[in-house]
Amino acid sequence: MPIKSRIRTIPHYPQTGVYFRDITTLLKDAAGFHLTIEKLAERYHSVPIDLVVGIEARGFILGAALAFALDKGFVPIRKKGKLPAATRSVDYALEYGVDSVEIHEDAIEPGQRVLLVDDLIATGGTMLAAVDLVEQSGGSVLECCFIVDLPEMGGSARLAERGLYCFALTQFESE
């Protein structure tokens, strides 16, 4: 059974007209979760990655498992106020306001090659903020990796405009 078929769609959540792609059904399926990490590890096995960086919260699950599979370190990017040591922060726009993400100042050493991981790419705002954090830290983003791309939301195109490549295991068109 393919990965896409293990992802639940919840219509009209969080608002009417939105089709939420819920990966928790994929994560609870042992074979599906294993297949997801296996496919990602196959892709990045021979890529010269120094660190895997995951975005809160589902990017932690995927990123940590992928880092383990690749024998690499893992770094979390968190929402503002969640990291205990000195941080650097980037604000980004949301439909309804502004949010912030942070990384520890010492999380990435200059020149380190980073794979950024999250569960899904929609508008790209969070991932672009994560890219900014990695670059401000002196790291270089090799690729942005997702389970799901929602191409009609424009996020992967926004990353491409920045010269970044997005890889997703599957994509969903609008309903």
SS3 42: helix
C-beta pairs of 165-169 under 8 Å, 24+ apart in sequence: 166/121, 167/43, 167/143, 168/121, 169/3, 169/4, 169/36, 169/39, 169/40
Active site residue 58: yes
Peptide bond into 122 cis (omega under 30): no
User: How many residues would you count in the chain?
Assistant: 175
Active site residue 95: yes
CA distance 169 to 149: 8
Which tokens is 101 given?
A: 């993400």
Q: Find the catalytic residue in 6, 8, 21, 95.
A: 95
CA distance 131 to 168: 17
35 φ, ψ (degrees, to nearest 5): -60, -40
Q: Find the catalytic residue in 43, 56, 58, 135.
A: 58
Which positions are catalytic? 58, 95
